[in-house]
Amino acid sequence: MFKGELDSAIIKGRDLEDLYLLESGAKKHGAKKILIRHYGEESTGGLTNDELLNMSEVIKNGSVLLESFEKRNNGFRYAYEWENNSVKLRLVVDDLNDGNKIFDFYSDRNFTDFRDASLHSGNHHYENNPTQKPLTSQEELLKTQENALKTQENALKTQENPLKTTQEAKNLSPLEQANAEKLAKLESEKLESEKEFTRLKEQEIVRKAALKKKLEHERGNAGNIESATKIEVGEDIPTHTQTQIPKSRVRLNEREIYDLNYAIVKAKDLKPSFTTGGTQKRTDMNEEQIKSIAENFDPKKIFGSGGFEDLPIVLHDGQVIAGNHRIQGMLNFTPKSRFAYERAIKEYYHIDLKPDELLVRVPHNRLNNTEINNLAASSNQGRFNSESDHAIAVLSHYEPKLKELEKQLNADSIYSLKNIVAKNLNFDKATHPNVGDSNLALLMFNMPRTKTQGIELLNRWQKEFSNDIKSYEKVKKMFVDNAGSFHNLIHDMSFPNVSLNAYLSDIMDRSFANLKNYQSTSESLKDLSEKFYKTNSLDMFEKSDQSTSDISEILGGAIARFARFDDPSKALFEALKSDNIKKGLKEFKIADVTKDMFNPNSKEFKDIDIYDFTHYLLMANREPNENNPSLKHLIQAVKDMQKESEKTIKEASKTSAKESEKGIKERAFKVIEDKEAFFKDLNAIKPTQLPREIDSFLNALNGVKNKENFIKHLKSKPDAKHRLAYLNLVEPTLKEPDITLIFKEQGKEVKKEHIKAFQGDPKTIYYFLVTQDNDSKLITGLRISDNYLKAEIGKADIIHSFIPQDS
């Protein structure tokens, strides 16, 4: 790329347009001044009249010299170079910050040996020597250029009237005739140049819009970075700070050092956690560790250890930043261990604790969300209870650089790609970047937050492969090594509709399962084809009640095949390279660079979806005409799934969406302007009792046509089980939402989110969200948290509140 996000084609288009404005006599374009600077000095090299009049040819035919790109105080400088008839012509462009542009044009000729350029040599009998003195200002340059152009304009006027006498034409000097011909040529090229510039500009706008839309979708499905996880901090618990004890300190790096106060708190106020989310960055509880602390407390293992290993660190509201296991063990103290604990506190800190008190450390300064998350994740470094703990820790550790990572990482080998990832994420300038951890962090970063998210599934499959750990490591290594490959494909605008990000964790999950359940690829193919292929065509397939008819399972099986290769990482790397995907799509007749005009169902590369990509992966590293009945049946099943998906997308729930919207309009609502104040109004919502029977959904949702297709649409999603579990909440949420959020793009409404509160037990309130896009399609949401609700409210352009005002 060149000049930020503009490539050389875009730059050429702009320079050609500016040069046309100059050569056609326009001295300004808005507030922009476009100037040609050529001093006629010996050092610049001579130019012929024809070369001067054809300066745009250097841009059209030459190359942008990437090494010439230079960031200057007043703008950018870059150069074009074109060799024509053994003469090197160079055009240097100064693109200034103030909107002005200067073209500096010269050749590699020795000026003193040059005899053709009458504009400089002054040896022509019909023209005075116009060799210029160096011009000192842009205004002088502009004036000189305008004078030169007047002659050209006069010549053009003569040419424009074909009825003028031949004698008038003969009165023109040879130079004027040449200028007239040139200007006529310029005029004819004007439209072509403008069209090319417009086309390139529109292409760039479309490309950026497509990338923005793709990344918004992919990021929307992706897991939250751990340090971006919103932590709800509650009210302060009573603490008695021990000012007589010197502050403790924990250090994350040279910049992040945190002072900690020692404080006495009531044991009952502490809130240890062993589920992911909030301040907890682990996925497993080590019951043996808790039991050891509770029953056989050894103060030497904790007191005086320093850093995160010392006394537990808690927030001012009692949430635990570091030491969940330690605190849980202390809460479970046996009398013997409690006695040992109190005696050690007395010896180490000269404090007498009451039986219901504990000594902890509390941050001296209030921490923001990112600081809390980083502290919590860093506390686990080097003492992981599981694979998932490790994944969470590295994800948080590499966060600053993950956000800045280039969209495309170009590498010619898997070894090179892994090291490029490590080098790019090496924010602490380590001499030897950690290749494994950095690639694991990137893989986790690009995975969605579903129940099979990579962070959780690593634990599960490590246990499943406890008797065959080599197979577990083989699959894990293949995915981690190719973190950069998945990253490239997710951001590859050659395939904007392949939302690989949304399926990545499921693909990894099914790959583990495939290797576990099948001894060979052929066995896997046979079973999958029997499971998904219906001999009685698409009609039979539509009637199948298999909720596991999920493209993720087939895609996972396709990738698991590479784990059986001699070098799994290399094999998958080659299959995921953009050029190889295009080659395969063409070879297997899935898609091509352009559509086949004789085949209305043909596709371009940019049109392929996850089903086409699955088709490609099933065929990768195979012969196009391979005679394998199981493979053929499985590919047909994928095509059937694709047809069903396309049909569902077009038909699902349009009637329901319209009726819901009508019902909503008839209810009184308030337009919210003060979002912060509205957060307090959320407490006034009167939640609806949760329906008990999920089967009642089909009977309740009377307004929905094509209900069966709607259900199948839900089943095709990676998180189908979760969506189906909440189906019975869709209808009441659409008909009587508590809140409707409206989102706009460029002034047009593009999406609505309907939110309703439900109550299970007396202490628990759930929020349920259903999304309605601008095409009236319903996209079922899930149960959402308070934090997610507030985040969506914060992003909404318009908020309609149906919360009763008198409540």
For residues 441 and 425, is the Cβ–Cβ distance under 8 A?
yes
Angle, vertex CA 285, rays to CA 279 and CA 289, nearest 5? 110
SS3 label, residue 728: helix
**451-465, 486-500, 535-549, 637-651: which has the minimum mean pLDDT?**
535-549
What pLDDT score was predicted for residue 229?
A: 55
What pLDDT score was predicted for residue 253?
A: 65
pLDDT over threshold 90, residue 713: no
Write out 539-608 in H/E/C secondary structure.
Answer: HHHHHCCCCCCCHHHHHHHHHHHHHHCCCHHHHHHHHHCHHHHHHHHHHCCCCECCCCCCCCCCCEHHHC
Q: Pick the most confident of 199-208, 494-503, 626-635, 653-662.
A: 626-635
- Return all residues near 445 (Cβ < 8 A) that are at least 6 apart: 222, 223, 225, 395, 398, 402
pLDDT over threshold 70, residue 495: yes
- Return all residues near 538 (Cβ < 8 A) that are at least 6 apart: 640, 643, 644
SS3 label, residue 805: coil
pLDDT tens for each residue of 242-278 = 988 888 888 776 667 888 999 999 999 998 877 655 5
> Which of 23 and 388 is assigned the larger pLDDT?
388
Residue whose token pair is 């923005």: 212
What pLDDT score was predicted for residue 358?
A: 93
pLDDT band at 569 (very low <50, low <70, confident <90, very high): very high
d(CA 687, CA 676): 21
pLDDT band at 41 (very low <50, low <70, confident <90, very high): very low
What pLDDT score was predicted for residue 342?
A: 92
> Which of 98 and 40 is assigned the larger pLDDT?
98
pLDDT over threshold 50, residue 576: yes
Average per-residue pLDDT for the chain: 73
Which amino acid is it at 303?
F
What pLDDT score was predicted for residue 615?
A: 94
For residues 726 and 783, is the Cβ–Cβ distance under 8 A?
yes
Average pLDDT over residues 659-686: 70
The token duo for 361 is: 């450390």
Hey, which residues does 778 pair with through a beta bridge?
A: 772
pLDDT over threshold 90, residue 751: no
Q: How many residues does the chain have?
A: 807
pLDDT tens for each residue of 69-95 = 777 888 888 888 888 887 888 888 888
> Which of 705 and 236 is assigned the larger pLDDT?
236
SS3 label, residue 639: helix
pLDDT band at 35 (very low <50, low <70, confident <90, very high): low
What pLDDT score was predicted for residue 403?
A: 80
Burial 25-64 (b: 16+ CB within 10 A, else e): beeeeeeebbbbbbebeeebbbbbbebbbbbbebbeebeb
Q: What percent of the chain has pLDDT over 70?
A: 64
> Which of 469 and 308 is assigned the larger pLDDT?
469
What pLDDT score was predicted for residue 560?
A: 92
Average pLDDT over residues 91-120: 66
**141-145, 230-234, 649-653: which has the minimum mean pLDDT?**
141-145
pLDDT band at 694 (very low <50, low <70, confident <90, very high): very low
pLDDT tens for each residue of 369-387 = 778 877 776 665 544 456 7
For residues 564 and 521, is the Cβ–Cβ distance under 8 A?
yes
- Closest among 564, 579, 576, 477 to 525, alpha carbons compared: 564
For residues 510 and 552, is the Cβ–Cβ distance under 8 A?
yes
What pLDDT score was predicted for residue 502?
A: 77
Residue 115 CB-density burial (10 A; 0-12 exposed, 13-18 middle, 19+ buried): exposed
Which amino acid is it at 259?
D
Average pLDDT over residues 107-122: 46
pLDDT over threshold 70, residue 110: no
pLDDT over threshold 80, residue 49: no
SS3 label, residue 190: helix
> Which of 355 and 403 is assigned the larger pLDDT?
355
> Which of 577 and 542 is assigned the larger pLDDT?
577
Q: What percent of the chain has pLDDT over 90?
A: 16
